[in-house]
Amino acid sequence: MISTVVLPVAGLGTRFLPATKAVPKELLPVVDKPLLQYAVEEAWRAGIRHVVLVNSRTKPTLPRHLQPADAALVADLEARGKHELLAALQSATPPGLTLTVVIQEQALGLGHAVLCARDALAAMPGGLEQTFAVMLPDDFIDAPVNERSQGCLADMVALHRDTGAWSLAVEEVPRAQTDKYGVVSLTSNPADAGARIVAMVEKPKPADAPSNLAVVGRYVLPGSIFAALADVQPGVGGEIQLTDGIVALLASHDIRAHRFAGVRYDCGSKLGYAKANIALALRDPDLAAPLAAWLQQSPITIQEAS
Ligand code: G1P
């Protein structure tokens, strides 16, 4: 059973300045819900009840979104019979969610951020032996939720339950973009659901990339990643890379590439964030028809996204 997700959220979100001057990027909404909440809901559907936020001191409002709502606001909405708004307010704090906040004092990389969660996991039942998940909230995965799947992370958790394998979510990206991602190569046919990762490189130049299969922000990892990360030397960008910790485990662990259903939006980029908002708004019962009509009729020039 996987009970914990680590959310590295200490990044400053400078690509979204000035929006992120006072608002953490993980609290930017896609339509009406912050990226952070989508991630927590995906983890919740995977059966995970413990969230470890690896936060920065500069983003104190971030954990507030996952803490109980202001009692006066709840009482006011109740008194006015605003049940839908009350449900929306309380949806941010699913019952039984445990939140731990640890501070990453310095921005030393994603691997360092995950390493900051070590003591929080060590203190839990299962300690550092436990398998846990890592999610990057700005990789927003819009996946169908139905009787067959409860989302990307739930499928990765099920893979671990059924086979014992750990996994990283992957998708094909244009060759020219391999230098934005961790890129993997696999043992067998890449289309194979059970293909094991044999090599992984952080942000390779297109010419050096072992494939065009890029890791996106969902990981199911063994607790032994912490010992591996403690030994990792600064890599790409002078940072402690999660990729380099995972590489140290590949020979001894069955770590697989999980191709997920649905669409991943890179909400760390303005284009991906804009696309996510439009895609979800076009599915919102109240917004879909007027937005579609406006997109067709308005005099703005809509350029094709690359
Ligand atoms: C991080 C990881 C990278 C991964 C990517 C997914 O990079 O280091 O391996 O492919 O997330 O979004 P970042 O986007 O933080 O530079």
Structural contact between residues 37 and 64, judged by C-beta atoms closer than 8 angstroms: no
d(CA 3, CA 50): 6
Angle between helices 288-297 and 270-281 (to 10 degrees): 120
Cβ of 10 below 6 Å from ligand 1 = no
Average pLDDT on 255-268 reads 96
Cβ of 171 below 6 Å from ligand 1 = no
146 pLDDT band (50/70/90 cuts)? very high
Pocket test for ligand 1, best of 16, 168, 215 (most atoms within 8 A of CB): 215
Cβ of 265 below 6 Å from ligand 1 = no
Residue-wise pLDDT tens digits, 4-56: 999 999 998 899 999 999 999 999 999 999 999 999 999 999 999 999 999 99
Cβ of 200 below 6 Å from ligand 1 = no
Structural contact between residues 267 and 138, judged by C-beta atoms closer than 8 angstroms: yes
CA of 164 to the centre of ligand 1 (A): 25
Neighbouring-strand partners of residue 101: 53
pLDDT at 194: 67
CA of 242 to the centre of ligand 1 (A): 9
Nearest atom of ligand 1 to the alpha carbon of 243: 9
Cβ of 131 below 6 Å from ligand 1 = no
% of the chain exceeding 90 in pLDDT: 90
272 pLDDT band (50/70/90 cuts)? very high
Residue-wise pLDDT tens digits, 181-196: 999 999 876 556 568 9
Our CA dihedral for 196, 199, 202, 207, rounded to 10 degrees, sits at: -120
pTM, rounded to two decimals: 0.94
Whether the predicted pLDDT of 304 surpasses 70 = no
Domains of the chain by residue range = 4-268
Residue-wise pLDDT tens digits, 191-216: 565 689 999 999 999 999 999 999 99
Cβ of 244 below 6 Å from ligand 1 = no
Name the CATH superfamily for 4-268.
Spore Coat Polysaccharide Biosynthesis Protein SpsA; Chain A (3.90.550.10)
Cβ of 214 below 6 Å from ligand 1 = yes
d(CA 4, CA 44): 10
Average pLDDT on 114-121 reads 98
306 pLDDT band (50/70/90 cuts)? low
